[in-house]
């Protein structure tokens, strides 16, 4: 997988054992490589152990299950989207600008993963459908950023203040779904970027005071 920004961001569920990050990261990197080529579904922990030259028992010292390894990879993959969002938001000038950048970066980056890392994208889609903690944490992180942007826009007078903030954020997250949820985006890839931009404009009109 390209774009692994922070290996140590992967504090997904099911990890255990010694806090030896080097070995843990080696397992994750090897598993990522292996899943990218052969897919997550068809690979067993035994296959993985054989491919990366560790014993199965040794891998189980660090991860309680195949899913735990999948969640770590998924956290990195989705974490790279969050990192790209944070980078682009750093020099945005207004809440309006921030919102559009957030929306477009999520859609474009997620689509990139779909094209460049198809097998890893499948894990991400599966993780969202199955609500693994790697996926729910990612979504919660994006929701937090949306909330901050809406509050900032309300404070600056860019956005309306009548709609309850929770409702406004929930509705935006719902509208976001076909562009950010990998399981939905796979049926909506052609809508990125033009369609995504039009939906961002619709949401911004809904936020107008």
Q: Interface with a second copy by CB under 8 A: which residues?
A: 128-129, 160, 163, 167-168, 170-172, 174-175, 177-178, 181, 183-184, 187-188, 191, 195, 198-199, 201-203, 205-208
Of the pair 34, 100, the CB lying nearest a second copy is at 100
- Of 46 and 208, nearer to a second copy (C-beta) is 208
| Least separation in angstroms between CB 53 and a second copy | 38
Contact, 111 vs 192, CB < 8 A?
A: yes
Beta bridge partners, 63, equal: 15
- 15 or 177: CB nearest a second copy: 177
Q: Which of 51, 50, 56, 104 is nearest to 81 (CA)?
A: 104
For a second copy, the closer CB: 94 or 201: 201
∠ CA 118-119-122, rounded to 5°:
90
Shortest distance, position 191 Cβ to a second copy, whole Å: 6
Question: What's the DSSP call for residue 9?
Answer: G
Residues pairing with 15 in the sheet: 63
- Minimum CB separation from a second copy for residue 171, in Å? 4
Name residues whose C-beta falls within 8 Å of residue 128's C-beta, 6 or more positions apart in sequence.
135, 139, 181, 182, 183
- C-beta of 24: minimal distance to a second copy in Å? 31
Q: What angle is formed at CA 23 by the lines to CA 18 and CA 26, rounded to 5 degrees?
A: 145
Nearer to a second copy (CB atom), residue 115 or residue 187: 187
Q: For the CB of residue 102, give the shortest distance to a second copy in the complex, in Å.
A: 16
């Amino acid at each position: 997988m390209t774009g692994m920004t922070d290996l140590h961001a992967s504090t997904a569920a099911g990890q255990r054992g010694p806090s030896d990050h080097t070995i843990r990261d080696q397992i994750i990197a090897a598993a990522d490589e292996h899943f990218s080529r052969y897919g997550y579904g068809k690979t067993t922990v035994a296959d993985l152990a054989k491919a990366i030259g560790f014993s199965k028992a040794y891998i189980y010292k660090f991860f309680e299950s195949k899913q735990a390894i999948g969640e770590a990879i998924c956290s990195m993959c989705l974490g790279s989207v969050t990192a790209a969002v944070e980078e682009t938001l750093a020099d945005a000038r207004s809440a309006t600008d921030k919102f559009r950048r957030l929306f477009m970066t999520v859609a474009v980056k997620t689509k990139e993963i779909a094209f460049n890392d198809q097998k890893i994208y499948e894990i991400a889609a599966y993780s969202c459908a199955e609500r693994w903690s790697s996926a729910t944490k990612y979504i919660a992180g994006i929701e937090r950023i949306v909330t901050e942007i809406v509050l900032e826009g309300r404070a600056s007078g860019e956005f309306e203040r009548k709609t309850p903030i929770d409702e406004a954020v929930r509705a935006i997250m719902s509208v976001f779904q076909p562009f950010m949820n990998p399981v939905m985006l796979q049926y909506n890839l052609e809508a990125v970027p033009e369609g995504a931009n039009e939906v961002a404009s619709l949401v911004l009109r809904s936020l107008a005071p």
